[in-house]
Structure 1
């Protein structure tokens, strides 16, 4: 489960930035401009929001343990004057559709973006979004259903080691093997998750066969699994009493679970649905940090 409000806000921003990026791809190619726009939305009112959201850095940054200095950093990205040329090269590579298999292009682009580290904060989050955008732009995915963050978090040490091996030894092959293994594992997990969701939907529909509004609210819960009685009332355009009765019924059936413990302003979560994602480690996927802490002057 999300550990606190800040985690939840980062997830909301991540999803919003991803949806924005996918919409913009319909009229704008994947570009540095789009990455800046996505970064600005990603960083609104969350961790790092004071560090030039939507703008490439103009000062040197570095990566390492909390409190490290430039001299003790584990990795120092290129200085701003070299970063600009590296970003231009990355943008050209993003536009070279068809020269490489899409998955190979994704793996190479992600690693190069993380090496350039063009923002003062949020590079890991943008780098993961870049994978999704490339897969959708390349026609591999119709919807953003692959959560590579889960794999990168589960193999955090190896992820960092593989990126370091590129920078120190030029070991792109080792990185690509690691990346492609992650795509395969996450694809299988996504398939199993989708099957579990479909089975849950059919099972829950049978539980609500005698309810006039139940199936409609159920469909809504797959989009918004956290709900209040007032929100249900507004969605169903019904009386407060009808909404309260329906939620009480769904709570009795184990579909909804009250989360606040309060007598008023109660909030309910679609427990069986969220449990599927939590079992797969997906609930914090979008906010999971990369294996480094970003420091900058």
Structure 2
């Protein structure tokens, strides 16, 4: 990393590590941020959109089911930013099948992200908001996948860096704090999370995300844990009652702008540029989540209406709701959900196929698999498109 890549006011945070290379130690939060008219307008728009999403979430009969659907979308897109190729469809088929062995790690990485979010947001979790909680989430995220070499749950004890393939510490674009300064940075970061904040909450979350990425405390998985932190803080600070905002849907198609924005905070102190990018994303994804939640709720109402007749079994409605949790199932999963015999579960699934809610995946003689394509379309597709 070159010192002359940093503006003069930022170069004072470039330090020489014990092993004689240059690294960047971000100054403690909060930053000095000038709220000009543009930034105030973006903050107002993001606050308003997020408030509308929070209000929409509170009117939903079962926000947990719809939040689970949007968490899957966030998991897929946050993981895709890091190079995975799995889709929401791949994820739900994996969840329904629960294979003990799989040929590739991409879908398991996404599945692990869902589990990490659920763990971090569990109201009965063991740990409060802290670096230790993020370490637990990291351990879940990288357990049993390609990042397993990167000591899941452990803060790094060696140096990492960011740059073009094959670059070295000397030619890297960015070198985060050296190991001997890492805990100093993490302690300050954790204290900031619990401090009284003068900045508005959304701006504080944008700053916290940058700071985590700048510290880069793990050998792998920093980006995903940093985006999980956004979801966590929105819930911890009561901005949303459920994880309905999928910020990665904004970042994924703009990943170059995302990485450049984070880097310019380090190299030039460009907080306004980064916070503006983040607030635009919050506003856009909050509006999208409102539309998507309405679409999913309408679809749930339609499905329940299809199976609610005078002679229908209450089991059908139970299974419909379970599909908004995981939009695919086997007969065995249906049997476990309904606590009935294999034959009764099979008959119930058949009725959902006949009603157009489920479609059987072809080519599977044993352990037949059924998918709710309408729910997948509502999660992945255009939320304003007509219901299937």
1:28-70: per-residue Cα shift (whole Å, max 9, x none)?
A: 4321221212211221112201211111111110112333332
Deviation at 1:26, TM superposition (A): 6.4
For residues 125 and 150 of structure 2, the distance between their equivalents in structure 1, rounded to whole angstroms, comes to 29
* Mapped pair 1:130 → 2:232: no
Number of the residue aligned with 1:62: 161
Closer, same or farther: CA 72–145 of 1 in aligned 2, 3 Å: same
User: What secondary structure, in the 3-state scheme, does the structure 2 residue paired with 1:61 have?
Assistant: coil
The number of equivalent residue pairs is 281
Shift of 1:265: 1.1
Q: Tell me, yes or no, if the aligned pair for 1:108 and 1:176 is still in contact at 8 Å.
A: yes
Find the partner of 1:140 among 239, 249, 256: 239
> Which region of structure 1 is more displaced relative to structure 2, 174-183 or 156-165?
156-165
Aligned residues: CA RMSD? 2.0
Q: State the shift of 1:136 in Å.
A: 1.0
Kept after mapping to 1: 8 A contact 2:135/2:155: yes
Give the direction of change, closer, same or farther, for the CA distance of 1:247–1:27 in structure 2 (3 Å limit).
closer
Which consecutive unaligned segments of at least 5 residues does structure 2 have? Answer: 1-86, 92-103, 384-388
- State TM-score, norm by structure 1: 0.88
Partner of 1:121: 220
1:11 has 2:110 as partner: yes
2:162 partner SS? strand
Partner in structure 1 of residue 185 of structure 2: 86
CA contact 1:189–1:280 (8 Å) conserved in 2: no
The match for 1:72 is: 171
Q: Distance in 2 between matches of 1:48 and 1:26?
A: 24
Q: Is the 8 A contact 2:197 2:204 kept in 1?
A: no
**Residues 25 and 153 from structure 1, CA distance in 2 versus in 1: closer, same or farther, beyond 3 angstroms?**
farther
Residue in 2 aligned with 1:177?
276
Deviation at 1:25, TM superposition (A): 7.8
DSSP 3-state at the match of 2:371: strand
Mapped to 2, the partners of 1:12 and 1:247 lie a distance apart of 25
Residue of structure 2 equivalent to 1:109 = 208
Residue pairs, 1:209-220, within 5 angstroms? 209-210=308-309, 211-212=312-313, 213-220=315-322
Q: Which runs of 5 or more structure 1 residues have no equivalent in the other structure?
A: 282-297
Q: 1:42 aligns with which of 141, 148, 154?
A: 141
Aligned-partner Cα distance in 1 for 2:221–2:243? 20
Q: Distance in 2 between matches of 1:22 and 1:225?
A: 21
Mapped to 2, the partners of 1:24 and 1:54 lie a distance apart of: 21
Name the counterpart of 2:353: 251
Partner SS for 1:60: coil
- C-alpha deviation, 1:248, in angstroms: 2.2
More deviation, 253-262/196-205: 253-262
Q: Residue 374 of structure 2: SS of its match in structure 1?
A: helix
Asked if residue 242 in structure 1 is aligned to residue 328 in structure 2, the reply is no
Give the superposition deviation at 1:87.
1.4
Q: Deviations over 1:77-119 (max 9, x none)?
A: 1211222222122112111134322111100010111011010
Structure 1 residue 198 corresponds to structure 2 residue 297:
yes
Corresponding residue for residue 285 of structure 1: none
